[in-house]
Chains A and B, each alone.
Chain A
Amino acid sequence: MTRRLALTFAFAAVLLGQSTRSVWDGVYTADQANRGQALYAKECASCHGSDLTGGESAPPLAGSGFLSNWTTLTVGDLFERTRVSMPENDPGKLSRAQIADLIAYLLSANRFPEGKAELDKQAEVLKQIRIDAEAPKK
């Protein structure tokens, strides 16, 4: 598939509201979230708080304050924001696999369901997973 064609498909998917999956579809595993939790305590908690409620200038990473910032964006957006800018004093320090673990932990802390497969470490794949604050109506 040519790049342009791929972009056209991606664009069409967005237009049609067909982000293929959402965070309600079990997009990470419990093991991955556990790894992420350990990493969070080491790399993130000093600014974002051990309970993810944020600090004096770092935003919360759980709860309604966090979700209202990120709902309708994608897990890929969150992944890329983290990758290019965090931790603030040394971005680039964490590997993409570690960032995926961290985000699995954030998803778990925000009570999105775990699943059978681990969260991918490619932003392009994660951009197909939509963050929805509210569970889909069944």
Chain B
Amino acid sequence: MRKRQGALYALIAIASIAVLPVGAQTKDTEWPTYGADLANTRYRPLDQINASNFSQLELAWSFKTDNLGTRPEYKLEGTPLMIKGVVYATGGTRRSVVALDAASGEVLWVHGEHEGERAMAAPRQLSGRGLAWWTDGKEERVLYVTPGYRLVALDAKTGVPVHTFGENGLVDLKLNDDQTILPDLTTGEIGLQSAPVIAGNTVIVGASFREGMTPKSMRNNKGYVRGFDVRTGKRLWIFHTIPTKTEPGYDTWLNGSAEYTGNTGVWTQISVDEKRGLVYLPVESPTGDYYGGHRPGNDLFGESLVCVDLKTGERKWHFQLVHHPLWDMDISSAPILADINVDGRAVAAVAQPTKQGILYVFDRVTGKPVWPIEEKPAPQGSVPGEWYSPTQPIPSKPPAYARNGISVDDLIDFTPELRDQAQTLIAKYKIGPVFTPPVESKLDGALATLTLGTASGGTNWPGGSYDPETHTVYAYACNACVTPIGLVRPSKELSDMDFVAGTAGQEARMRTGPGENAGADSVAPPRGGEGRAAAPARAGAGGGGGGGGGLTVQGLPLIKPPYATISAINLDRGEIVWQIAHGETPDNIRNNAAIKGRDIPRTGQSGYNIGTLVTKSLVIAGDSLITTSSSGARGAMLRAYEKTSGKEVGSVLMPAPQSGSPMTYVWNGRQYIVVAISGGAYSGEYRAYRLPQEQ
């Protein structure tokens, strides 16, 4: 025993010498925007951490976000920035901003806004996805959007609001929006959880709303996009994501429905081609995720990729990915700007990963598809009052990289018995290919349409990464996030819509998203004592993701593995180069009695919030679940794959799943990887990894 230990120590000593070769100088490298750059590549050409040493990473520092708010947060989704040795991040239930020393994690300053009732009523609470940084060479600022929808500019060195920006550092985003936010400034539904984007001296801000499965009304505030002067906070331009009466696209809303329909915001990350002065807006669904009977027509610019001018906000081109949206596909992640070569021709392209597992690729100057996108006949439905688009656009290339419909062949098939049981289970549902519409839920008919690649995705908000050296997009996708979409008639008290999401035989209830009503200002903090009188509780039921809880066969997922994948998609050829299952086989599947003892290849883990990072040689992403390793250790792995092949080359055990996408930087010659983790019993934490110091 002792001898083996000695050998082990020797091995460790040798390994640690090999970690940082003497004289390996790596230039300091920043991560200045949410997605590494305005093209949203999530790429840095760093190689100090590589296949040979990834598994030797150790914790440099960690930062717990519990005290950034009145209670801990279990859903930390941020990606920090690193500029000049300082890490900036949002965190906590108050969505505070922290500045940390990049090498040690020491807190340099903290800023938080106490917004009271306005934050309590906010549609998007909790810590958000991040912030933006700006400099003119002299001054440095960081900007973020509060839960209550205010744009805040802080002095990057001190964290103090810049008093010359807006009113004492704040711009009230509920004002000056070409609409009156209803019912009032405090409770009017509009907010934003993503990071603002700064290109040149323009800061661009979108808008977000409550989850849209059960809207209170067919009428809602609209999610316009605006550009502001980063120095003064003055509004420079606005883009109407729902056209006004005199603007092109208004006629795609029949019966004048553009007047009252809302939502249609840009809640995810925006990309900018600064050289060409072009901004790329991924627009979400209009009011009513699953029912569009009150907004007949194609509904521009709902679920469209829109290119606007950076200086004026004027539309240059648009492409609607989904006509008359009915599936909550949104456009959920940053468009990726990529300079590629197709058939010997240089193309300035934009590639859009989606919930529906289709990567749409366009010439980003002209808006023309790089490979033909055909309008194909789409399945039609029979929900009373609904309007159906006869066709939907389907790209000829690249092929879909994740499941976006359900056929019997997609069902669990570990054993013939399990397949039989799955078929019995789905008999109560409608299934079909991509764009199979929702049904009116009936006890003696279909309870719902079972969908994949809709509300959860596919690729959700973390988006993809892009390697400019090999012209390859890397995209994580959930491949088994089933969302049943059934519609029921709501009570008058619940909604004035004709239909909202629900299940026949069950009372239709308001569905809220994860984190709604859970921000720092939402309610009084928990007390350690014997509780207190019940506060007026709001209705709350699931919402958001669409895990399809309960749709299991003997405790196993209805859909067969892989449950999630990472795909490498070459943009010169429009081909999937490799695709792997991402994430360890979950314990409850590995240990399930129905399949115990069977040799099952790694299944991956169903989850919709995993983002990837690309470096010189690696693709890096964490697991979305906690599992037990063969040695009995429990945790979630941060994994590294060789980017050319998808082969796993290293991993590090983390105490909780990845919940925000990883980033990397070099400071003082050492490369760091920072990742947000949280979930289950583990509250939000940023963890910074680096290699051991050279011996």
Contact = CB atoms under 8 A, between A and B. Distances in A.
Nearest to B93: A85
Q: Kindly name the residue among B518, B538, B543, B681 whose own CB sees the greatest number of chain A CB atoms within 10 A.
A: B681
Interface residues of B, number: 55
A89 B542 contact: no
A97 B531 CA distance: 9
A111 interface: no
Given A84-B71, A89-B537, A55 B626 contact: no
B74 A85 contact: yes
Given A64-B555, A78-B681, A55 B526 contact: no
Q: Kindly name the residue among A78, A88, A97 whose own CB sees the greatest number of chain B CB atoms within 10 A.
A: A88
Main secondary structure of the interface of A (DSSP, over half): loop
Contact of A92 (B455, B524, B626): B524
Interface string B342-369: 0000000000000000000000000000
A26 interface: no
Interface stretch (A4-12, A30-38, A46-54): A46-54
Contact of A68 (B523, B524, B548, B586): B586
A56 B511 CA distance: 9
A47 B542 contact: yes
Interface in A56-92: 56-60, 63-65, 67-73, 77-78, 80-81, 83-85, 87-92
B530 A96 contact: yes
B527 interface: yes
B216 interface: no
Nearest to B554: A64
A109 interface: no
A47 B527 contact: no
B1 interface: no
Nearest to A95: B531
Interface string B534-562: 11011111111111111010010000000
A98 interface: yes
Given A47-B540, A56-B547, A84 B634 contact: no
Given A73-B681, A85-B71, A53 B549 contact: yes
A106 interface: no
A77 B626 CA distance: 15
B6 interface: no
Contacts of A77: 681
Contacts of B539: 46
Q: Kindly name the residue among A46, A60, A83, A97 whose own CB sees the greatest number of chain B CB atoms within 10 A.
A: A46
Contacts of B591: 64, 68, 133
Contacts of B587: 64, 68, 71, 133
B514 interface: yes
Contacts of B532: 92-93
B514 A69 contact: no
Contacts of A71: 587, 628, 634
Contact of A65 (B71, B548, B555): B555
B597 interface: no
A133 B550 CA distance: 20
Contact of B550 (A49, A87, A98): A49
Given A54-B547, A69-B625, A92-B525, 20 more contacts: A46-B540, A46-B541, A47-B541, A51-B550, A54-B542, A55-B541, A55-B542, A56-B511, A56-B547, A56-B548, A57-B544, A57-B545, A63-B555, A64-B592, A68-B587, A68-B591, A88-B515, A88-B518, A89-B512, A96-B530
